[in-house]
A = this chain, B = another copy of it.
Amino acid sequence: MRSLSHPGRDQLDLPAVLYALSDPTRLEIVRRLAADGERACGTFGLPATKATLSHHFKVLREAGLIQTRVEGVHRYNSLRKQDLDARFPGLLKAVLKASGPC
């Protein structure tokens, strides 16, 4: 796999974004990306197999919440904060705040 597809800023769909955030594991991934910035997939230490985590990253990516950069054998994920803020002002901030202290 050479490049991963991400939806454009204008293609972000609110229901899809809310759905992606409605899973506790995915919400936790987003919280950590918001707190720590770019991270590789394997560094989250979440209680799930790599197959399951790969699935969650895919859901987040296809909803436009994160972007994944391939570098060597790693995939570095980061929050698409600018795109999300542009399209859905205040949403990310409210969700992060509501999800508890960082």
List residues of A whose CB falls within 8 A of some B CB.
14-16, 18-19, 21-24, 27, 87-91, 93-95, 97-99
Q: Are A18 and B14 in contact (CB under 8 A)?
A: no
CA distance A24 to B15 in the complex (A): 6
Dominant secondary structure at the A interface: helix
The minimal Cβ–Cβ distance linking A40 to chain B, given in whole angstroms, is 25
CA distance A23 to B17 in the complex (A): 11
Q: Among the listed B16, B21, B27, B97, which residue makes an inter-chain contact with A90, where contact means beta carbons less than 8 Å apart?
A: B97
Given contacts A19-B19, A22-B19, contact A14 B89 (CB under 8 A): no
**Further contacts, 9 of them, CB under 8 A, given A16-B22, A18-B18, A18-B21:** A14-B99, A15-B21, A19-B19, A88-B98, A89-B94, A89-B97, A91-B91, A91-B95, A93-B94
CB-CB under 8 A from A19, the residues of chain B are: 18-19, 22
CA distance A90 to B99 in the complex (A): 12
